[in-house]
Structure 1
């Protein structure tokens, strides 16, 4: 049985969680995919969206969902994770050599690796370093080079083993991701993880 929760909040009713996940499913356009390149990579980015996470830990499947606010510049990334109703649950601040995660009234947790830190505290790895690229339609490929996805080339495998699919794109002359699906088999207690990210059109300009 799938255990559904939203960033450490009490268990949500299954029908409500299903509604949240269905709301995040964008319809793929029936028109031929565009070959236009994505916008040039930007160090500064600010947007909001929704995400759902499904993972297997110690043989049990778990599922969570919620909202996020994302802000980055050349040297810092700030992420706020919220419940589906908008209640802030945790914040993550990443600077060179340090990641700090604050959750409610608990003491801040710090580590040099944000992915490992989020796994320890949240129970699943939030790939913040990769998301700096993914949210713009880029990824660091297996050969170590940053490559761009497009509606015509919408799948990529990253250097750290994430399989990405840029499922749908926002309307406009320059493609910007709307929905990103990421999957990876992970080590330790997390045996498999799938993340669905839906970017709010109003937030991504």
Structure 2
């Protein structure tokens, strides 16, 4: 009888040990959009240039020092990958080509003919102007959320927002500087 009780107590202890929540630092959610230090988005993208129109899916992971932006065309065709390492090296990979540099916008323009200010878009995608240059923001009178940001010749137009962890983040937006235009539909946000 004591053996059965001992086995039951041991089994219960093992099960409860396996089911305990791991302890460690828990990162609280950001309290404002500008406080977001790390994020990941995914969704649909449409890119129009004077010579081309590209559409597909995108996934963008960003932290304070690095980023990884992947665009994949329909049925997995035409993958373009743009990454920045902790050391500041930017790598652009497409087709059978891999190019490195220090400025992501310059690599995209030189290699693909895409005008896309990656560093600024990392702010615009959160509904914020880039603090490094002058801008003009127009807010929607009903929601007080940004409806447009004008900055460095680019017009960013927001048509829909979603709420993530109590913060309003863009869900549909367009970034344009004719003849260049990028439409983003964001299906998923993960923020820290």
Provide the TM-score with structure 1 as the length reference: 0.65
The answer on whether the counterparts of 1:138 and 1:149 sit within 8 Å (CA) in structure 2 is no
Q: Separation in 1 of the partners of 2:139 and 2:101?
A: 31
1:200 alignment partner, SS class: strand
Q: What are the ranges of 5 or more consecutive residues in structure 2 without an aligned counterpart?
A: 1-30
Distance 2:112 2:172 in 1: 23
SS at match of 2:74: coil
Residue 53 of structure 1: which of 24, 47, 54 is its match?
47
Could you say if the C-alpha distance between residues 45 and 171 of structure 1 is closer, same or farther in structure 2, counting changes exceeding 3 Å? closer
| Secondary structure of residue in 2 paired with 1:133 | helix
Superposition deviation, residue 64 in structure 1: 1.4
Residue 146 of structure 1: how far off its partner (Å): 10
How big is the shift at 1:86? 3.6
Q: Is the 8 A contact 2:41 2:186 kept in 1?
A: yes
Match of 1:165 in 2: 157
1:73 deviates by 0.9
Q: How many residues are treated as equivalent by the alignment?
A: 156
Tell me which of 112, 116, 121 is aligned to 2:111.
Answer: 121
> How far off is 1:147 after superposition?
7.2
TM-score, normalised on structure 2? 0.69
* Structure 2 counterpart of 1:103: 94
Q: 1:196 aligns with which of 180, 183, 186?
A: 183
Q: Tell me which residue corresponds to 1:175.
A: 168
Secondary structure of 1:69's aligned partner: strand
Q: CA deviation at 1:175?
A: 1.2
